[in-house]
Amino acid sequence: MTQDKKITKTQELIYSLRVKDVMSTDIVTVSPSNTMNELKEILRIRRISGTPVVEGKQLVGIVGIDDLIRCLSNGEMDATVGEKMSKKVETLCADEPLANAVNKFEQYGFGRFPVIERNHGRLIGILTKGDVVKGLLTRLEIAYHTEEFRYNNSINPVFDNIAMDKTNFHFQYRVDSRDFNVAGESINKLKKILSQIGFPPQIIRRVTIAAYEAEMNMIIYSYGGHISVSADQQHIILEACDAGPGIPDIEQAMRQGFSTAPVWVQELGFGAGMGLPNINKCADTMELKSEAGKGTHIKAVFNTTNGDGV
Amino acid sequence: MNLEFIVRKLELSVRCGEDKLGREVRGGYVGDLLSDVIGNSNEGDIWITRQAHQNIVAVASLKDHAGIILVNSSEPDSDTLDKAIKEEIPIMVSELPGFEVVGEIYKLMHT
Amino acid sequence: MKKKGGNVTLSEVKEILDATVFVGEEKLDMEVKTAFSADLMSDVLAFAKEHSLLLTGLTNPQVVRTSDMLDIAAIILVRGKTPPEETIRLAKELNIPLLSTRYILFETSGRLHARGIVGCIEKVPLGEMT
């Protein structure tokens, strides 16, 4: 994978959003025949610093506070907007990406751009820097909420999720090395889910025991890893993968009563050398791959079609 | 009540210390946590556990237990046996779970 | 003491063991037939059966978690252990009765056995553990 610069959500948004998505459509306009005095009143009342000039529905110019100040000092307040406006108007098209607008703001140093419909050149909105910022913030907030929702669901599955059934569910959680306090917590949840989905109690019992032993092993011996449980038509599949250090002698580790657990672990009631044999006993088939210096991968499969098993 | 009586009544398999079965049993202690057993068991107790590693011999010797009964068919390691023979601690094995072994011994003690 | 044969209620268990109820006062009329005594959770996981009493000297929250997984009827802590807050909280949350007795595990097991409670498994055949 190439390590390109990570595209931020904001960058993504200014390319995917269009001008029309964030522009204001509540536009104040003046006509070329309005006097500068009238313009002054409009700007004052609406608290704006400039407006497009429209004749019929066509955009013919733009006039702003700079023009007004010049007229004030020259005593030309009775002149018409048409005489004093800028006729060369920079516009944006409604369907342009927001990125273009941002570039244009930088390039011209203007505070606003009239937005026109590309086909007929009619004025349909106005875009200020404020509109851009507000638009981005709104979208970012929505994106953030969605992200947060997704994250919460991944670590805390919704139990009454109707999408889950016997052949379509996936439960995964992370296990941290030496973290005894939360040990078993996720498995208590897993048990609830499996029973809500409707698996027979004996199957659930075997899966949860195996998952718990796998988790305990990971907590006691490994650098941490993750455990996942999923199902297909005929099986529940439990997988436990850790990041090492791996088991030097698998045959020995599979023997009941063999344990390398330190005393403090045994005093907690674990590490009696029952873990792997217990997983093996619970599962219909079990595969154990491990390499010293690397990690351990356990795959335990439970048949769900042939009754209660053990 | 001596060890030999318990061995016979509970049909225990003796793994070592046959010549020590005459020893009097004064009480019983069940536990799998060595620190608990060291802290709370008494001299002359028959110790019932499922731990089979060699440290149990050291504990039984330290506390002067009458003997050790391993439950759930838990078999002593060869290191454990070597040590038990040296320390003259009888080790017996039962197929029964701890609860049943204790229940039977308790009954023998109270009748 | 005679074997009564049949079930014993949690309420009777409380009386037999002179126990303190930390969680599950409202479930004392529950009936139990079997028990498992152990200090090793791995043993509990390997051998304990559903609806049994779990007699143990361990008081950490893992005892409750393990019990929930195995549908243990109630947990009896021995040697007068007061469970940590977290253990009590979890037992409440998972709705598992939690009692504590001053008797040692030997006496606890003996007393319940004398009242007709039996081991939740009959035996582990010799040789299976090696």
ipTM of the complex: 0.91
> Which tokens is B13 given?
């398999």
Cross-chain residue pair B77–A269, CB shorter than 8 Å: no
Closest Cα in chain B to C116: B103
Q: Quote the radius of gyration of chain B (alpha carbons, Å).
A: 12
Question: Min CA distance, A298 vs chain B (Å)?
Answer: 26
CA distance C39 to chain A (A): 6
* Residue owning tokens 């993504």: A12
**pLDDT value at residue A161:** 37
Element of type H or E holding A69: helix A65-74
Altogether, the residues listed in chain C come to a count of 130
State yes or no: pLDDT of A157 exceeds 70.
Answer: no
Q: Which pLDDT score is estimated for B21?
A: 96
pLDDT of residue A158: 38
Interface contact flag, C37 B104, Cβ < 8 Å: no
Task: Name the stretches of chain B with pLDDT < 70.
Answer: none
Judge whether C121 is closer than 8 Å to chain A, CB to CB: no
Min Cα distance C59 → chain B (Å) is: 12
Taking the domains of chain C in order of start, what are their residue ranges?
Answer: 8-119
The set of residues, in sequence order, having a beta carbon less than 8 Å from that of A116 and lying 6+ positions away, is A59, A91, A92, A93, A94, A122, A123, A124
Tell me which chains share at least 3 CB pairs under 8 Å with chain B. A, C
Set of chain B residues whose Cβ sits within 8 Å of the Cβ of C125: 73, 95
- Per-residue pLDDT, A149: 45
Range B3-109 has CATH code 3.40.1390.20: yes
Using DSSP's 3-state secondary structure scheme, residue B1 falls into coil
* Cβ–Cβ under 8 Å, residues A122 and A98: no
Query: Per the CB < 8 Å rule, is C50 touching A205?
Result: yes
Does pLDDT of A146 surpass 60?
no
CB of A295 closer than 8 Å to CB of A241: yes
Partners of B100 on chain C (C-beta within 8 Å) are 113, 118-119, 123
Q: Give chain A positions within 8 Å (CB) of C40.
A: 266, 269-270, 272, 274
Kindly give, in sequence order, each residue whose CB lies less than 8 Å from that of residue C22, ignoring residues fewer than 6 positions away. Answer: C83, C88, C91, C98, C99, C100
B100/C104 touch (CB, cutoff 8 Å), yes or no: no
Q: Which of A226, A229, A202 is nearest to A306 (CA)?
A: A202
Cβ-Cβ contacts under 8 Å, B28 against chain C: 106, 110
Contact B30 C35 (CB under 8 A): no
Q: How far is C3 from chain A (nearest CA, A)?
A: 31
Of A209, A278, A281, the CB nearest to C69: A209
What is the 3-state composition of chain C as percent helix, strand, coil, each rounded to the nearest 5?
A: 35, 20, 45
pLDDT confidence of residue A143: 60
User: How much is the pLDDT for B49?
Assistant: 95
Quick one: pLDDT at residue A237?
94
Closest approach of C84 to chain B, Cα-based (Å): 18
Q: Chain C interface residues facing chain B, Cβ-Cβ under 8 Å?
A: 1, 35-40, 43, 47, 55, 57-58, 79, 104-107, 109-114, 117-130
Domain boundaries defined on chain B: 3-109
Q: Indicate yes or no: CB of C69 within 8 angstroms of CB of A205.
A: yes
C129 neighbourhood in chain A, CB within 8 Å:
256-257
Contact call for A267 and B32, based on CB within 8 A: no
Q: Cα B40–B44–B48 angle (5° rounding)?
A: 65
Neighbours of A301 (CB within 10 A): 17
Q: Model pTM? A: 0.64
Please, which pLDDT band fits residue A3 given cuts at 50, 70 and 90? very low
**Own/partner pairs for A250-253, CB < 8 Å, 24+ apart?**
A250/A288, A250/A290
> Domains in chain A, please, with CATH?
9-135 (3.10.580.10), 157-303 (3.30.565.10)
- Classify burial at B11, counting beta carbons within 10 Å of its beta carbon; exposed 0-12, middle 13-18, buried 19 or more: exposed
**CA distances, A308 to each of A203, A213, A305, B37 (Å):** 6, 20, 9, 39
As a whole number of angstroms, the distance between CA A15 and CA A9 comes to 10
pLDDT tens-digit map of C5-32? 568 999 999 999 999 999 999 999 999 9
Taking the C-alpha atoms of residue A212 and residue A219, their distance in angstroms, rounded to an integer, is 10
Residue with tokens 């104040």: A28
Chain A CB contacts of B75 below 8 Å: 257
Cβ distance C45 to A268 less than 8 Å, yes or no, reads: no
CB contacts < 8 A, B to C, total 112
C-alpha closest to that of A205 among C21, B59, C48, C130: C48
- Mean pLDDT check: name the lowest of A34-38, C48-52, C105-109, C123-127: C123-127
Q: Are strands A170-175 and A225-231 parallel, antiparallel or unpaired?
A: antiparallel
What confidence tier does C105 reach under pLDDT thresholds 50, 70, 90? very high
Q: Is B33–C110 a contact, with Cβ atoms under 8 angstroms apart?
A: no
CATH topology of domain C8-119: 3.40.1390
Q: Among partner residues B29, B51, B73, which is closest to C126 by beta-carbon distance?
A: B73
